[in-house]
Structure 1
Amino acid sequence: MAENKLTDRQLYKYLNKPQEGQLTFADGLGLSARVSKVGGITWLFRFRLPNAKNQFWLSLGAYPSMSLKSARLERDKCRNWVANGLDPRNEFKLDRENTFNPITVKDALSHWVKKYASRKRVNAEKHEQQFAVWILPHVGELPIADITKSHWLTCFEERAHKYPVAASYVLRNVQQALKFCLKQGYDVHRDIFELDMDSVGGTKQAKRSRRLIADGDWDEFEQLIKWIDDGKMFPYYRNLLILLTSFGCRSQEVRLSKITEWDFDNLVWTVPAEHNKASAKDIEKGLTGDIKRPIPPKLVEFLKSLVASSDNEYMLGELKESAAVSAWGGSIWKKLDHNDKWRLHDIRRTVATGMNDLGIAPHIVEAILGHAIQGVAGIYNRSQYLPEKREALIIWHEKIESLRHQ
């Protein structure tokens, strides 16, 4: 079959020249140029689908906006679609939509936040805020399919030297977001997955293991308990610290806690899966992802007073931002004149250490903390440990009471 029979010289003879009737000139391999009565020229592709009796026509575009060379490239695309059993009418439309309305970096990252992070990550809002600062100003409006290493490196070069730990964190989240988008059928340039922490100027966060109880010395923890009792702080933070020291829970579990989570009839606090950082591992084992903690009897009146004083759905009476709570907690060590820095999360480590020092079984300590339990014990639902956890928390609160009166 002859192909590429037309030339621009031939086409210009008819362009914008009135005709007595419609004319069609074949270029070959299914491509034709149709000239209207007023001299407009349209590219057409003629094809027949497998097992179809009739031929179909697809309008590709107008000449000269679509050049002869471009029309032939579009024809070749259409022929390839037909050869693979696809309808060029559908594929051409999709191809046009991707060309003129490409999926941008902003679209892809927003898709991940909405469809994944908002349901699986308790700090999804933080991810979105970091994307808005690190990524979107540089490449947010560019097609995600075209973003290469040089584009990504531009996002990090201005800030990574000042915030190297954050740079690593943002890169990891961008990569996880785009892996998710790939699975959703997005056309993502794979250069992003070849970048690592060093290439963007990032560093790992220094691991610390700070505890207020060490080698049987409870002095720092005792100081904290008495400082809480002294109450020289905003009520929100005093109540937060009481719950952190009472349960060894994560600060986000308390910060996000709603009154409905607290069952005073059965004396159980149920942290829902969406507030549990380790819920994904539990759900993989067929568990709910919830954390169930018994409420020690001596804590009941205090908790009921929180409910009574709250004028909304939150146990602490308001919802503070994670960054604000973390910043406030990071200054307590100075107020107590401790030599070494510690944060709110270190209270969790402290409770674990103290419970172990009191002889509480390690797997019960892990269950109270809400860690994903490993090994054989991990295949059983945490609710089976409620009696053991209740007894452990009673022992723990007796110890706190003894420190309070020393």
Structure 2
Amino acid sequence: MAIGKRELDKVLINPAGKQVMHNHELGLSLRESAKGVLTWQGKYSFEGKQYRVDYGHYPQMSLRKAEDAHAETRHLVAEGIDPKLERQQEVVITVKDLCREWMAKYAAHHRKRLAIPEREIKADINPSIGHIKLSILKVRHINQCIDQIMARGSKAHARKILGLLRQICAWGVRRGYLKNDPTASLRKSECYTPKPRERYLNREEIALVWKKLPELGLSVQVVLATKILLLTGQRRSEITLSKWQHLDLESGSWFIPETKNGKPHKIPLSKQVISLFEELKEYSNNSQYVMPSPKGDGPMSEKVITRAIARKQSHFGIEHWTPHDLRRTAISGMNGIGVMPHIVELLVNHSLPEMLRVYVQGKQDSELFEMQRDALEQWSNHIQEVCHASGKA
């Protein structure tokens, strides 16, 4: 006999004090735990094996709703679909769920720097539209998220987040989580069309920045890292994500396993840069990272350097500059003192254009590496000469 509403209420009021299974009909039952917790369960057979699936607790889930849930289970089995797998798919019901799945099933296998999309999802997507159900997700919700970022003046960042949302939604369509892509009609150019930056520091500005950096109350790590970026032409993330195991200060080399173009990179170090890294190590508190975060076990964010320089921008008394401009300064500066263009390109991990490849044909990697070392020593000596000549060393 199927258990009815009257029997359910009796069980609720007078628990058995032990685990009991109260059968209803067609494989639906109510499991009573020793502590009196009542859980609706459905029993079904799929591909010759018996399974049970939980639907919810009584009285939060009524008998009628439990019957409906079990009817759906039986319908799926009749269609040749495993209800457990189908229920796992149903967990992805909001934008936040979709972002989580994208991180786990796509980004983890195809993105080298997971911390970046993870941070952007947490800071910009989830707080704005993370709660929106995928079944009602529309282009207006995407615009809402982007408009909020635009409103705070971050046009370039809004463009970046829209690009991320386009990746996630397109993947969601391919996986069947979304029927339509709400970002399909949107273009990143509507947020912001970036203009290539041409800013680099001239001789006088280099000397001024070199002198001012230690005088502005910036952290020693930021000061040292900024000088290393100027002397090597590398990117912010390449120093913040580096570990001490990647540096061989005795032989003077720096291995960068992950770069923007996806290729690992190894560069020689000038004597001055080795000295700066040795000083930086004194402030790493035995961390594995060259620039550890003060808030945990991970590395410092590259944005720490950018924000620190931005806060002190007015103290330099020159045209606005950013830490990334130091990379352009190094490239321009080395070319200016006579370093061969193909050596400069190799130092900053650029792919050589066809017209420059002829200069490396037949040369051993070790020979090219030492040529790069000579170039960085020249650049380092040039920086020192510029500072001394300006009386600002």
TM-score normalised by length of structure 1: 0.67
Match of 2:388 in 1: 405
Q: Is the 8 A contact 1:105 1:136 kept in 2?
A: yes
In the TM superposition, residue 192 of structure 1 has moved relative to its aligned partner by 2.7
Q: Is the 1:292–1:382 contact (alpha carbons within 8 Å) kept by the matching residues of 2?
A: no
Q: Distance in 2 between matches of 1:102 and 1:261?
A: 40
Distance 1:351-1:391 versus aligned 2 partners, 3 A rule: same
Q: Does 1:166 align with 2:157?
A: yes
**Counterpart residue type for residue 165 of structure 2:** V
SS in 2 for 1:364: helix
Residues 343-389 of structure 1: per-residue CA shift (max 9 Å, x gap): 11001101110011112122221221223444484999977631221
CA distance in 1, matches of 2:188, 2:384: 49
In the alignment, which residue of structure 1 is the partner of 2:30? none
2:271 is aligned with 1:291? no
- 2:233 aligns with 248
Q: Which amino acid aligns with 2:375?
A: A
Aligned residue in 1 for 2:243:
258
Paired letter, 1:207 = P
User: Is 1:177 matched up with 2:168?
Assistant: yes
What is the alpha-carbon distance in structure 1 between the residues aligned to residue 188 and residue 272 of structure 2?
51
Q: Structure 1: which amino acid aligns with 2:341?
A: P
Against the structure 1 CA distance between its residues 135 and 332, is the aligned structure 2 distance closer, same or farther, given a 3 Å change threshold? closer
- Offset at residue 260 of structure 1 (A): 1.4
Q: Which runs of 5+ in 2 are unaligned?
A: 5-23, 28-45, 49-54, 56-62, 294-298
Is residue 155 from structure 1 mapped to residue 139 from structure 2 by the alignment?
no
Alignment length (residue pairs): 336
1:306 maps onto 2:280 in alignment: yes
Cα 1:402–1:381 change in 2 (3 A) is same
Identity %: 22
Residues 80-95 of structure 1 correspond to what in structure 2 (within 5 A)? 81=79, 88=80, 90-95=81-86
Secondary structure at the aligned position of 1:108 is classed as helix
Aligned residue identity for 1:112: W
| Equivalent position amino acid for 1:368 in 2 | L
Cα pair distance change 1:64/1:295, threshold 3 Å: closer
Q: Where does residue 337 of structure 1 map in the other structure?
A: 317
Distance 1:251 1:132 in 2: 22
Residues 323 and 232 of structure 1: CA distance in aligned 2, closer, same or farther (over 3 Å) = closer
User: In 1, distance between residues paired with 2:365 and 2:167?
Assistant: 30
| Contact 1:147 1:189 (C-alpha < 8 Å) held by counterparts | no
Which residue identity is paired with 1:330? A
Matched with 2:118 is 128
1:236 to 207, 214, 221: 221
The answer as to 2:208 corresponding to 1:223 is yes
TM-score by length of 2: 0.69
Q: Identify unmatched segments of 5+ residues in structure 1.
A: 1-13, 17-39, 44-48, 55-60, 82-87, 280-288
SS across alignment from 2:103: helix
Cross-structure match for 2:9? none
1:387 aligns with 2:370: yes
The reply to whether residue 323 of structure 1 matches residue 306 of structure 2 is no
Partners of 1:97 and 1:301 lie apart in 2 by: 55
User: Cα 1:197–1:161, aligned 2, differ >3 Å: closer, same or farther?
Assistant: farther
**Distance in 2 separating the partners of 1:381 and 1:186:** 51
The structure that has the greater radius of gyration is 1
> Given the superposition, is the C-alpha separation of residues 219 and 327 from structure 1 closer, same or farther in structure 2, using an over 3 Å criterion?
same
Aligned-partner residue type, residue 196 of structure 2: K
Mapped partners of 2:3, 2:246: distance in 1: 74
**Partner amino acid for 1:239?**
L
- Gap change, CA 1:308 and 1:195, over 3 Å in 2: same
Contact residue 225 and residue 403 of structure 1 kept, 8 A = no
Task: Say what the alpha-carbon RMSD is for the aligned residues.
Answer: 4.4
Equivalent residue for 1:109, pick from 99, 105, 115: 99
For 1:318-341, what per-residue CA distance to the aligned partner results, in whole angstroms no more than 9, with x for missing partners?
543333321112245422211x21
Q: Is 1:291–1:382's contact at 8 Å kept on the other side of the alignment?
A: no
Deviation sequence 1:167-211 (CA, Å, 0-9, x none): 22111112223444555x342233234132479x62234432111
Structure 1 residue corresponding to 2:201, chosen from 212, 232, 237: 212
Q: Which amino acid aligns with 1:209?
A: E
